[in-house]
Chains A and B, each alone.
Chain A
Amino acid sequence: MVKTLEGSHAIADMIVNCEADVLACYPITPSTHIAEKLQKYYADGKIPEYITVEQEFSAISALAGASATGARTFTTTSSQGVALMHEVLYAVAGMRLPIVMCVANRSLNSPLGIWCDHQDIIPERDSGWIILMCESNQEAVDTLPQAYKLAESLLLPVMVCIDGFYLTHAVEQIDVPSKEIVQKFLPKFKPEFKLDTNNPITLGIYSTPQYLQDFREDLANDVDNAREPIKKTEEEFSKIINRNYGNGLIENYKCDDAERIIIAMSSFCGNVKEAIDELRDKGEKVGLLRIKSYRPFPYKDVQEILKNKKHVGVFDRATTLGGHPPLYTDVLAAIYDSDQKVPISSFIGGLGGKDVTVETAKNIFEDLKENKIKRKFV
Chain B
Amino acid sequence: MIEIRIHGRGGQGAVTAAELLAIAVGFKGKSSQSFPYFGVERRGAPVQAYCRIDDKPIRVHQNVYTPDYIVVLDPTLIDSIDVCEGLKKEGTVIVNTHLSSEQCKKKLKSKQVGEVYTVDATSIALEKIGKPIVNTAMLGAFVNLVDWVDSQCLEKAVNEFFDDKNMADKNIAAFKGCCEIVKV
B interface SS class: mixed
> What is the size category of the interface that chain A forms with chain B?
20 to 34
Partner of A165, one of B26, B35, B60: B35
Question: Within the complex, what minimum Cβ distance (angstroms) separates A24 from chain B?
Answer: 24
- Decide if A170 touches B34 in the complex (CB within 8 Å): yes
In this complex, the member of A5, A172, A271 whose beta carbon has the largest number of chain B beta carbons within 10 angstroms is: A172
CB-CB < 8 A to B34: which residues of A? 170-172
Known A-B contacts A169-B36, A170-B35, A171-B35; A358 and B60 likewise in contact (beta carbons under 8 Å)? yes
B residues 5-23 touching A (CB-CB < 8 Å): 18-19, 22-23
A residues 234-277 touching B (CB-CB < 8 Å): 267-268, 270-271, 273-274
CB-CB < 8 A to B58: which residues of A? 172
* Interface check A348, CB cutoff 8 A: no
B residues 64-122 touching A (CB-CB < 8 Å): 65
The docked-state distance in angstroms from the alpha carbon of A357 to that of B66 is: 13
In this complex, the member of B25, B32, B60, B61 whose beta carbon has the largest number of chain A beta carbons within 10 angstroms is: B61
A-B residue pair count with CB separations less than 8 angstroms: 67
* Interface check B62, CB cutoff 8 A: yes
- Decide if A170 touches B62 in the complex (CB within 8 Å): no
Question: Within the complex, what minimum Cβ distance (angstroms) separates B54 from chain A?
Answer: 11
CB-CB < 8 A to A166: which residues of B? 35, 61-62
- Decide if B23 touches A171 in the complex (CB within 8 Å): yes
Q: Mark A1-33, 1 if CB is under 8 A from B, else 0.
A: 001111000000000000000000000010000
The docked-state distance in angstroms from the alpha carbon of A267 to that of B59 is: 9
> What is the size category of the interface that chain B forms with chain A?
20 to 34
The docked-state distance in angstroms from the alpha carbon of A291 to that of B155 is: 41
- Decide if B33 touches A273 in the complex (CB within 8 Å): no
- Decide if B32 touches A172 in the complex (CB within 8 Å): yes
CB-CB < 8 A to A270: which residues of B? 59-61
The docked-state distance in angstroms from the alpha carbon of A135 to that of B60 is: 10
Known A-B contacts A165-B35, A171-B33; A4 and B61 likewise in contact (beta carbons under 8 Å)? no
The docked-state distance in angstroms from the alpha carbon of A136 to that of B61 is: 9
The docked-state distance in angstroms from the alpha carbon of A358 to that of B23 is: 25
Question: Within the complex, what minimum Cβ distance (angstroms) separates B120 from chain A?
Answer: 28
A4-B26, A6-B19 given. 15 additional CB < 8 A pairs?
A3-B26, A4-B25, A163-B61, A165-B38, A169-B35, A171-B23, A171-B34, A172-B34, A173-B26, A173-B32, A270-B60, A270-B61, A273-B59, A274-B60, A358-B62
- Contact surface of B with A, Cβ cutoff 8 Å: 18-19, 22-23, 25-27, 31-36, 38, 41, 57-63, 65
- Contact surface of A with B, Cβ cutoff 8 Å: 3-6, 29, 114, 135-136, 163, 165-167, 169-173, 267-268, 270-271, 273-274, 355-358
Provide 28 A-B residue pairs closer than 8 Å at the C-beta atoms, listed in order of the A residue: A4-B23, A4-B25, A4-B26, A4-B27, A29-B41, A163-B61, A165-B35, A165-B36, A166-B35, A166-B61, A166-B62, A167-B61, A170-B61, A171-B18, A171-B19, A171-B23, A172-B22, A172-B31, A173-B26, A173-B32, A268-B61, A270-B61, A271-B62, A274-B59, A355-B62, A355-B63, A357-B60, A357-B62
